[in-house]
Structure formats: C-alpha cells, structure tokens
Amino acid sequence: MARRIFPRIGFFAAVALMLAGTSALARPVHIVAFGDSATKGWLVPSKDAYPAQLQALLRKKGYDVVVDNAGLSGDTTAGALRRFDSAIGPGTDIVLVEFGTNDLRMHVPAKRMRANLNEIIQTLRKRRIEVLLIGLGSLHLADVARENRVPYAQWTLPRGQYRARDHQHFNAEGYAILIARMLPQVEALIRQVEAVQR
C-alpha cells in the first residue's frame, strides 16, 4: 500500500513545483505611453499624469502591468522617431502612441506627420508590439489607425473643462475621464499579450 502512495505524492509534488516555476517565469505586461506633453502630464504631478493613473487603475482591476511614461513636452512625430529606441525598450508589449498636435503647431505638413506616424506604428508592429493610437482634440487620426489596423482612441473633452491651469492641457480629473473611455481597448490589448505569453 505504501509503495503506491509515495509515488503519487512524488508526482503531485513535481506538478506543484512545475506550476510554481511557471508562475515565477511570468512577467508583468509592459506598457509604454509614448507621446508629447499630453502624455507627459504638463502642469500636473507625475502621479496624476495619465500613465500613472492608468497603471493604478489596471492594477486595481487585477492586471500585472507596468506603465512607463515616455512623454516628452513639445515633441513631434519626427522627434519621436529620433528617440524611438531609447523610449521603447526591450520587453515592451504595448505602446500607446499620442503625437501630432505639435507637428500642426509647427506647420509640419499633415502628409509628413501621417507618414511619420505610419513609420512609428509599423516599426512597433514589426517588433510584435501591440499599439493603441490616440488622437488629441481636433486632431483626428482614425484614418491612420485604420490603415495600420490598430485600435484608436480620440481624446476630446468639453472646452474649458477638466483643464490644467494653462486652460489647454488636462488636469487629473480630465485624464481619469479619458482613461476610463479607452480602458476597454487597453484591456483587450493586455489580454492579447497574455494569451501569447501563455
């Protein structure tokens, strides 16, 4: 009788060790928020900028994630291409791309701006990184998202509401509203990444 019991105990112990090893190998889903001052969080504390708020909300919902803030105030799509490799490190799973308003402010031709966005997105996809494209205010980029077959979020809030003290950039409450709107898309991308990791 004892000879039959001990081999079974050994088997279950081995399975438990195997499962423990698998969970130990699992890593957080790494998200990079890649954009300009709207991503950086101009005039708000870093904890209130959207990347930090998004990370806190996702973790509260039970997701094992890290959200890095790779926003740079004043950046353009050309600048994004120049700092691409330093902003998007190894192990990145998802990138939230938000650029274009500074291009318009600096009178960069819309065709050039869209070409740069295409290059950013296509480079990410070649690296097997999931992408969510974000359009800000009056800048609509749904056509770029469709062309590249990536999900899209439009950041619009009523004029003069949910703004920082410059009356243009978002405050903490504004970011919270925008995050809630795009959360289903971010969650869908996380599920895709987790499915591949399994």
23 pLDDT higher than 70:
no
> What amino acid is encoded at 146 in this protein?
R
Domain count for the chain, please give it.
1
Q: Does the residue 11 lie in any domain?
A: no
pLDDT for 6 beyond 60: no
HSE-CB at 84 with a 13 A cutoff on CA atoms is 14
CATH number for 78: 3.40.50.1110
Tell me the per-residue pLDDT of 111-170, one tens digit each, with 9 for 90 and over.
999 999 999 999 999 999 999 999 999 999 999 999 999 999 999 999 989 999 999 999
- pLDDT tens readout for residues 40-83: 999 999 999 999 999 999 999 999 999 999 999 999 999 999 99
Sheet holding 29-35, edge to edge: 65-71, 29-35, 94-98, 130-136, 152-155
Side chain identity, residue 40: K
**Domain-located, residue 68:** yes
pTM of the model: 0.87
Higher pLDDT, 188 or 5: 188
Q: Is residue 6 part of a domain?
A: no
Contact between residue 124 and residue 131 where contact means Cβ atoms under 8 Å apart: yes
Where does the pLDDT of residue 197 fall: very low under 50, low under 70, confident under 90, or very high at 90 and above? confident
Give the per-residue pLDDT at 10.
54
pLDDT number for residue 20: 44
Residue 3 resides in a domain: no
What percent of the chain shows pLDDT beyond 90? 84
Which residues fall within 8 angstroms of residue 63, CB to CB, at 6 or more apart? 29, 187, 190
Would 13 be classed as within a structural domain?
A: no
In this structure, is residue 79 part of a structural domain?
yes
107 lies in some domain: yes
Residue 14 lies in a domain: no
Buried b (16+ CB within 10 A) or exposed e, 164-173: beeeebbbbe
The predicted pLDDT at position 140 comes to 97
Domain residue limits at 46: 28-197
Residue 198 has pLDDT above 60, yes or no: yes
